[in-house]
C-alpha cells in the first residue's frame, strides 16, 4: 500500500475496523443523562483505593515496578496460583494483544465466536493473523461444537468469551470440558472472563479452576469492570509456562503505571466492599431482566454479566436514538442489537421505559 509519497504501511492494517468506544452521556436540557454504553462500574472509586492512588501519584516522576511485583504476588495469593503464572498488562485488552503477538502471525488463524468482543478482530488483524469466526447459536450462546469443527492446522489460538460481550451468555462446565478435550494440545485457548465477578449460574465454571490441569488454557481477567478501575488500564492473564513467560516478553516495558498497580492491589484488599457493590448490580440485573420479560421481551438471553442484550435487528439504531433522547446512552451494533449496561437504578428505569415502547417478541 504505497503511492510513493508516504511511508509504506503493512498491508494487513488495511480495512481494520476501528474500536468504537461507548459514547459519553450527552448533555441534556432538563434532565440527567446516563452512560450505559461501556459496561463500566457506575460507582465512584472506594475511598481506600483513592487514598492509595493519591499517595502513589506523588511519585510519578519515577518509572513503575516493571514486573508489577507486588500486584503479581497479590493476584497469585488471591487466586491460589504461582506468581510465575500471572502476567499483567495495560487492561486485559493489552494482555490479549500480548497473547496474540506471542502465538500468531501471518498465515495463522485465531478462532472465536461472533458476535463477541469487538476488540478481537482488531487485535488479530493488527498481528497479521487471520480471524475465523463461528456464529453464535440462535439462543446467543457460543457454538462450541461448531468452533471445535472449525479448528484447522493453522489455528494457533481460540478465544472463548464467557460471559460473552455483548450477549451476556456464559459457557457451562460440561460443554467447556467437552470442547477443550477436542482442542489439540498445541493450540492455546484463552477464556476471557472480564465479567467473571457477575456470574451467578453455578454451572458456569471459574476458568482459573479449568486452567489448573490444562496446560493449553489461559484465563484473562480485568480490574476494569467489577473492580471499577477502567480508567487506569490494568488486567492480567493466568497461564502456564511457557505462555506466561511469553506474555512477559511481549509486554510494553513499564506499561502498567504505578498508580494502576497500587489501585489494583488495594482493590484486592478491599475486595469484600467491592463485591458488595457487584452484588447490588447483580440484583439490579435481575430486576431489569424480570421487568423486560414482563414487558414481553421473550427472547432475552439470561445475562451473567453487567449488561443485557436486546436483539433488535433493523430497529437497533432507532432504539439507541430513543434511549438517547430519553437520557441514556446505550451501545448499538447496527443491524444486530443493543447492549445496555446495568447502571444506577434511575438510569435502568429510563432504559426500561424506552424498552416498554419497543417490545417485539
Question: What does the binding site for ligand PLP look like in residue numbers (CB under 6 A)?
Answer: 39, 91-93, 117, 161, 165, 192, 194, 222, 224-225, 230, 235
Report how far residue 13's alpha carbon sits from residue 133's, in angstroms, rounded to the nearest whole number. Answer: 19
CA dist 109 and 154 (Å) reads 5
Output the smallest distance, CB 222 to ligand PLP, in A.
Answer: 3
Shortest distance, position 61 Cβ to ligand PLP, whole Å: 26
> b or e along 204-242 (b: 16 or more beta carbons within 10 Å of the residue's beta carbon)?
bbebbebbeebebbbbbbbbbbbbbbbebbbbbbbbbee
Least distance CB 228 / ligand PLP (angstroms): 11
Q: How far is the CB of 93 from ligand PLP (least distance, A)?
A: 3
Question: What are the residues facing 238 on neighbouring strands?
Answer: 86, 219
Task: State the minimum distance, in angstroms, from the CB of residue 305 to ligand PLP.
Answer: 8
On whether the CB atoms of residues 295 and 351 are closer than 8 A, the answer is no
Return the residue nearest ligand PLP (CB atom): 91
Q: Which is nearer to ligand PLP, 37 or 266 (CB)?
A: 37
Beta carbon nearer to ligand PLP, 191 or 354: 191
C-alpha dihedral over 253, 259, 265, 269, to 10 degrees? 180
Q: Are 100 and 127 in contact (CB under 8 A)?
A: yes
CB 309 within 8 A of CB 173: no
Going by C-beta distance under 8 Å and a sequence separation of 6 or more, which residues neighbour residue 297? 310, 355, 359, 361
Min. distance of Cβ 91 from ligand PLP in angstroms?
2
Amino acid at each position: 500500500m504505497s503511492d510513493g509519497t508516504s511511508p509504506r504501511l503493512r498491508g494487513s492494517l488495511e480495512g481494520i475496523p476501528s474500536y468504537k468506544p461507548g459514547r459519553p452521556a450527552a448533555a441534556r436540557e432538563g434532565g440527567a443523562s446516563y452512560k450505559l454504553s461501556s459496561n463500566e462500574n457506575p460507582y465512584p472509586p472506594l475511598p481506600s483505593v483513592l487514598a492509595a492512588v493519591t499517595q502513589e501519584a506523588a511519585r510519578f516522576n519515577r518509572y513503575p515496578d516493571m514486573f508489577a511485583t507486588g500486584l503479581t504476588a497479590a493476584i497469585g495469593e488471591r487466586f491460589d496460583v504461582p506468581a510465575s503464572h500471572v502476567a499483567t498488562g495495560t487492561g486485559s485488552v493489552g494482555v490479549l494483544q500480548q497473547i496474540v503477538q506471542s502465538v500468531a502471525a501471518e498465515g495463522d488463524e485465531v478462532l472465536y465466536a461472533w458476535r463477541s468482543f469487538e476488540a478481537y478482530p482488531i487485535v488479530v488483524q493488527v498481528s497479521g493473523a487471520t480471524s475465523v469466526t463461528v456464529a453464535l447459536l440462535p439462543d446467543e450462546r457460543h457454538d462450541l461444537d461448531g468452533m471445535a469443527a472449525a479448528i484447522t492446522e493453522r489455528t494457533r489460538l481460540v478465544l472463548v468469551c464467557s460471559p460473552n460481550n455483548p450477549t451476556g451468555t456464559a459457557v457451562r462446565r460440561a460443554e467447556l470440558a467437552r470442547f477443550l478435550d477436542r482442542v489439540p494440545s498445541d493450540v492455546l485457548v484463552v477464556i476471557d472472563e472480564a465479567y467473571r465477578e457477575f456470574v451467578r449460574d453455578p454451572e458456569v465454571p471459574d476458568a482459573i479452576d479449568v486452567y489448573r490441569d490444562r496446560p493449553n488454557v489461559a484465563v484473562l481477567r480485568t480490574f476494569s469492570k467489577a473492580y471499577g478501575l477502567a480508567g487506569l488500564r490494568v488486567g492480567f492473564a493466568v497461564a502456564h509456562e511457557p505462555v506466561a513467560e511469553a506474555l512477559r516478553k511481549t509486554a510494553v516495558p513499564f506499561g502498567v503505571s504505578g498508580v494502576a498497580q497500587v489501585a489494583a492491589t488495594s482493590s484486592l484488599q478491599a475486595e469484600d466492599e467491592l463485591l458488595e457493590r457487584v452484588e447490588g448490580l447483580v440484583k439490579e440485573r435481575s430486576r431489569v431482566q424480570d421487568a423486560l420479560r414482563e414487558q414481553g421481551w421473550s427472547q432475552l438471553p439470561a445475562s451473567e454479566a453487567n449488561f443485557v442484550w436486546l436483539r433488535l435487528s433493523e430497529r437497533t439504531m432507532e432504539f439507541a436514538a430513543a434511549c438517547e433522547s430519553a437520557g441514556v446512552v446505550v451501545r448499538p451494533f447496527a443491524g444486530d442489537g443493543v447492549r445496555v449496561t446495568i447502571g444506577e437504578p434511575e438510569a435502568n428505569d429510563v432504559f426500561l421505559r424506552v424498552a416498554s415502547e419497543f417490545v417485539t417478541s
